Structures are given as structure tokens and as C-alpha cells.
């Protein structure tokens, strides 16, 4: 009876998973392909599929199967994790009334159009009415998800993206990350180093496409199981480990945008391609959390792609692909160019130092919106005040401010914080990988005692040689393949220890002290 129950359970879960994939495809197509007049039918179809998924998740059949399965699985096994995670998802689904789920899906599908219109007209008032509706639905959702032990309504929303995350846990993390960011940012502003520039027009669009393809090849993204398209806002959609779609954004004026978006989305894509194949269609073969997901993208984008050794490896290839790039451009020039610190109105264009400040702003605003301390009518002002306080710049128009992100139009409240977690985790993984490599190299005696050059970390050695596949495989082995088997905290403890801002702090202080010749 044991295997039969599990087979049946997997089938039911796989159908739910497939509804999710279909929803994802409907959404991807909406953003990348759909003509404007297709919107009405598309919203309806998204609502229909969300309802099916929700119904299936709440079905008694699934409840019974999970109960039976939980009694027979071996503790600590993958199956046990699968059952546990499915139970978690079902519990959340059971707390949400079906009409609310459908309503949220429909309203947020339509909200996209209003958000786009508001941006085109650069007028927050065009978006505000539908945003009010969304905030009201999110408050309703939070109150449906509240339990006796819940301390803050925002916890319920964060928990959907980052299991077990609470305001109590997040507040100090956000505070500390923001504070170190501000400290480094102030020091940079006082620095006299301005660094070299790369001449405008060095990177033609055709070459950018070629180089982005190269980047995905280097990091081992399987193009037979994915694609790379262009879109205004780069994103990743995964329908299956066999169909993972990335987008990037090409611009002659901001050439590095395309490269780093590709590395970033490529990092997300590798995670999806690396999930445990045998459990596809079950919660076990899903990403552990959005913070973990973001840690993969930020890892490739920043920990690898913004490293000096990366540009040592990339520079010759770059010169092959871009003949207009001046011959005297060095890896040092490139390294500085991709790490330049500059306050930006836009989160997506901000550097590693100021990025966390953008998140801190959204995190505080969302909490206030949810509790009712802040209303949508005052949001634009509060945004601008916050920017001024945190970064010393005030947006001149809503497109540069409150309208810049798509997330709220999609109903993604409780989501932004995971970007910050991603930054923290990615620094932690880089350290864990370095530790692993140093351990191995010592035990295998691979040191070269004859060399007199300054010691280069084993990780930098790998990168200089372009051996990105070893890095991917380390991530695959230690993170991707586990899916949702462990909690984020367990996974992190297996590698290096619970989440701790210190890795990010020391990383960012060290890097920018060197780049800007500052002391922090």
C-alpha cells in the first residue's frame, strides 16, 4: 500500500504543479507576446487556472493522501520532506477562500495594464485606484492567513515567499544591511577616486547578444532546456526544469545592463534547471524560497560577475566580440566600471552598495500599507521622503519613484525583502565555497610553494581559468538538488551556519575599500 499511496499522491501534486506551470506560461506570454486586446480573455483564463489549482490543493482527496502518506514515509527521507512541504502548502491554501484567490488573480492581471498606462503618462493617479483595490485584497489575505501565534500581519505575506520569515527576524537584518550600506555609501561619496570609464558606443547590440549567449554558456545554462529573450524588465519563468525562460534587456547606452541581467537571470535559471528531476511536479522539486532564489542570481551577478578575476577571464573574449572596444581597456578598468557606486532612483540600476537601501524603503512602506498606518494616497510622498532620507536624492517624477517596480501591480507584497536576503545569502555562499575549495586544496596538497606571487584565492583561480562549471556544480550539489528538502536555515547551517549579515558586511567593506581607497 505504501508505494501506491505515494504514486497517487505524486499524480495529484503533479496536476497542481501543472496548473501552476500553465499559469506561469499565461503570464510569460502576457508579458512577452500578447497583443493588448488579448487582456480580457487572459485575465479570465488566469483566474480560471488559479481557481483550479486552489481547488485541487484544498481537495479532500489530497488531504487524505497526505495523511496516509505521512504515516508511512521514513523520517528524514526525501518523501517525508515532500509530504511535509505539500502539507504546508495545503494549510496555507485552506486558509484562503477560493473567491479571494480568484479575485486577486483577476485584479492583478488587469492591474498590469493600468500600471503600464500610469508609467506611460508618468502619473501615479492612474495606478492608484487599482493599487488601492490590491492593498485591500492583500489586507484581506493577510487577515485570512493570521493565526493566533502571528505577531505581525506582514509575517503572513512574507511567509509565502520566504517560509518562516517574520518582521521580528527581518527588521534587524534590514536595519543592519541598510546601515552598512549607508556607511559605505557615505565613505564612497567622500572618496576622490573616480575610476576609468569605458567609451560610450563600445558595445554594439549584436555583440551584446553574442556575449550574453557566451555568458550563459560559461555558467552552464542548458539552452536546450531554456531560452533567452529580450524584455523591458528582465525576468525568469520556469515551466519545468526542461523549459526555463530568461529575458534580458539590451541597451547601447548601458551595455553592462544586458550582461548583468543575463548573469542574474541565468543564476535563477540554473537553480530551476538543477532542481531534483525525480520529484518534478511535487513541492520537493521547487525552489526553497525566494531569498534562496535571489541568492543564486546575485551570486552569479555579483559574487562572480563583479569580481576582478571574472574580468581577467572575460576581457580577451570581450575584445574579440567588440572590435570597437579600445585596446587599452584593462580588466582593472572593467572591474571598476561594473562596480561604480552612484545613487540611482531606480532599484534595478543601483549598485551593490545602495541596493539594500532601495529594499529597506519598500520593506517599511509595505509594512505600513498593510497595517493601515499608510494609505495609497500618501504613498507617493512617503516614497519620495524615504528616498531623500536614505539616499539623499528625491525623485522628480513617479516613473523614477513609486511607479518603477512591477511588483505591487502583481500583488507581490512581502516579496521585496527576499532581494535583501538574496544579497546576504549570496555573500554567505561565496564564503562557504571559498572555505570548501581551500579545505580541499590543502588536503590534496595543490598549493604551489614555489610561486612568489601574492596568494590568490582558490575561487579566483577557478574563475581566472573560466572553470565556471565547477562553481555551478558546487551550487547544484549543495543547494539546487535539495529543492525544498531542508529549511533555508537548515540548508545554510549545513554549509556554513545560520544567516548572518557579517559575510555581506565584510565582503562589501573589503571590496569597496579597495576600489575607492576608503576606510570603513
By CB under 8 A, name the binding residues for a second copy.
14-15, 18-19, 21-22, 25-26, 29, 33-42, 44-45, 48-49, 52, 222-227, 239-243, 280
Q: How far is the CB of 480 from a second copy (least distance, A)?
A: 16
Q: Give backbone dihedrals phi and psi of 499, rounded to 5 degrees, phi first.
A: -55, 130
Q: How far is the CB of 61 from a second copy (least distance, A)?
A: 15
Catalytic residue among 110, 265, 294, 380, which?
Answer: 265
Task: Give the integer Cα–Cα distance in Å for 501 and 176.
Answer: 7
Q: How far is the CB of 442 from a second copy (least distance, A)?
A: 39
Q: How far is the CB of 65 from a second copy (least distance, A)?
A: 18
Residue 29 or residue 489: which is nearer to a second copy going by CB? 29
Q: Could you give the count of Cα atoms lying within 13 Å of 165 in the half-sphere of its Cβ?
A: 27
Q: How far is the CB of 95 from a second copy (least distance, A)?
A: 26
Task: Give the integer Cα–Cα distance in Å for 58 and 55.
Answer: 5
Q: How far is CA 247 from CA 7, 208, 228, 263, 400, in A?
A: 36, 13, 5, 11, 22
Residue 221 or residue 512: which is nearer to a second copy going by CB? 221
Q: How far is CA 297 from CA 293, 303, 413, in A?
A: 7, 10, 20
Residue 19 or residue 429: which is nearer to a second copy going by CB? 19
**Please, which residues bridge with residue 238 across strands?**
244
**Element of type H or E holding 493:** helix 488-495
Give the largest CA-CA distance in the chain.
Answer: 72
Question: For the residues of 237-288, what is the DSSP string, one character each?
Answer: EEEETTEEEEEE---SSSHHHHHHHHHHHHHHHHHHHTS-GGGTTSGGGS-S
CA torsion angle 309 495 492 181 (round to 10): -30
Residue 34 or residue 368: which is nearer to a second copy going by CB? 34
Mark whether 265 is an active-site residue: yes
Residue 277 or residue 389: which is nearer to a second copy going by CB? 277
Residue 25 or residue 80: which is nearer to a second copy going by CB? 25
* Angle in degrees, CA 457, 460, 466, rounded to 5: 150
Counted residue by residue, the chain has a size of: 520
Task: Give the integer Cα–Cα distance in Å for 131 and 19.
Answer: 26
Catalytic sites, residue numbers: 265
Amino acid at each position: 500500500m505504501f508505494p501506491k499511496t505515494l504514486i497517487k499522491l505524486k499524480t495529484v501534486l503533479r496536476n497542481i504543479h501543472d496548473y501552476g506551470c500553465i499559469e506561469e506560461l499565461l503570464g510569460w506570454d502576457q508579458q512577452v507576446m500578447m497583443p493588448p486586446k488579448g487582456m480580457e480573455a487572459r485575465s479570465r483564463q488566469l483566474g480560471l487556472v488559479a481557481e483550479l489549482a486552489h481547488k485541487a490543493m484544498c481537495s479532500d482527496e489530497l488531504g487524505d493522501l497526505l495523511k496516509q502518506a505521512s504515516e508511512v514515509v521514513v523520517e528524514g527521507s526525501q518523501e517525508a520532506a515532500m509530504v511535509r512541504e505539500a502539507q504546508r502548502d495545503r494549510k496555507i491554501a485552506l486558509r484562503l477562500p477560493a473567491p479571494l484567490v480568484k479575485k486577486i488573480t483577476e485584479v492583478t492581471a488587469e492591474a498590469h495594464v493600468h500600471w503600464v498606462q500610469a508609467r506611460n503618462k508618468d502619473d501615479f493617479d492612474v495606478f492608484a485606484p487599482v493599487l488601492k483595490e490590491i492593498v485591500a485584497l492583500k489586507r484581506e489575505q493577510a487577515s485570512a492567513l493570521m493565526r493566533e501565534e502571528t505577531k505581525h500581519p506582514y509575517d503572513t505575506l512574507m511567509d509565502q515567499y520566504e517560509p518562516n520569515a517574520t518582521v521580528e527576524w527581518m527588521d534587524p537584518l534590514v536595519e543592519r544591511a541598510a546601515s552598512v550600506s549607508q556607511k559605505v555609501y557615505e565613505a564612497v561619496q567622500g572618496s576622490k577616486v573616480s575610476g576609468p570609464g569605458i567609451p560610450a558606443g563600445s558595445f554594439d547590440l549584436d555583440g551584446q547578444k553574442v556575449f550574453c549567449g557566451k555568458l550563459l554558456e560559461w555558467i552552464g545554462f542548458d539552452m536546450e532546456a531554456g531560452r533567452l529573450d529580450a524584455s523591458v524588465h528582465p525576468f525568469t519563468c520556469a515551466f519545468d526544469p526542461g523549459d526555463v525562460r530568461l529575458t534580458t534587456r539590451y541597451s547601447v547606452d548601458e551595455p553592462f545592463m544586458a550582461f548583468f541581467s543575463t548573469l542574474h537571470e541565468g543564476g535563477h535559471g540554473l537553480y530551476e534547471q538543477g532542481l531534483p528531476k525525480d520529484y518534478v511536479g511535487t513541492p520537493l522539486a521547487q525552489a526553497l524560497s525566494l531569498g534562496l532564489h535571489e541568492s543564486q542570481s546575485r551570486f552569479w551577478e555579483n559574487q562572480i560577475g563583479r569580481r576582478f578575476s571574472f574580468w581577467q577571464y572575460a576581457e580577451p573574449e570581450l575584445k574579440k566580440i567588440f572590435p570597437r572596444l579600445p585596446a587599452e581597456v584593462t580588466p582593472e578598468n572593467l572591474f571598476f566600471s561594473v562596480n561604480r557606486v552612484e545613487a540611482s532612483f531606480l532599484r534595478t540600476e543601483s549598485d551593490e552598495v545602495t541596493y539594500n537601501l532601495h529594499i529597506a524603503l519598500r520593506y517599511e512602506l509595505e509594512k505600513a500599507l498593510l497595517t493601515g498606518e499608510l494609505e495609497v494616497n500618501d504613498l507617493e510622498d512617503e516614497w519620495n521622503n524615504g528616498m531623500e532620507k536614505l539616499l539623499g536624492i528625491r525623485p522628480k517624477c513617479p516613473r523614477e519613484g513609486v511607479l518603477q517596480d512591477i511588483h505591487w501591480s502583481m500583488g507581490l507584497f512581502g516579496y521585496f525583502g527576499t532581494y535583501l536576503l538574496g544579497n546576504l545569502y549570496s555573500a554567505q555562499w561565496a564564503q562557504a565555497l571559498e572555505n570548501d575549495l581551500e579545505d580541499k586544496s590543502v588536503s590534496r596538497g595543490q598549493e604551489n610553494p614555489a610561486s612568489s606571487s601574492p596568494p590568490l584565492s582558490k575561487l579566483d583561480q577557478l574563475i581566472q581559468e573560466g572553470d565556471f562549471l565547477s562553481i555551478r556544480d558546487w551550487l547544484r550539489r549543495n543547494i539546487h538538488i535539495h529543492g525544498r528538502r531542508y529549511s533555508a536555515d537548515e540548508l545554510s547551517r549545513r554549509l556554513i551556519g545560520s544567516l548572518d549579515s557579517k559575510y555581506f558586511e565584510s565582503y562589501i567593506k573589503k571590496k569597496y575599500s579597495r576600489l575607492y581607497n576608503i576606510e570603513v
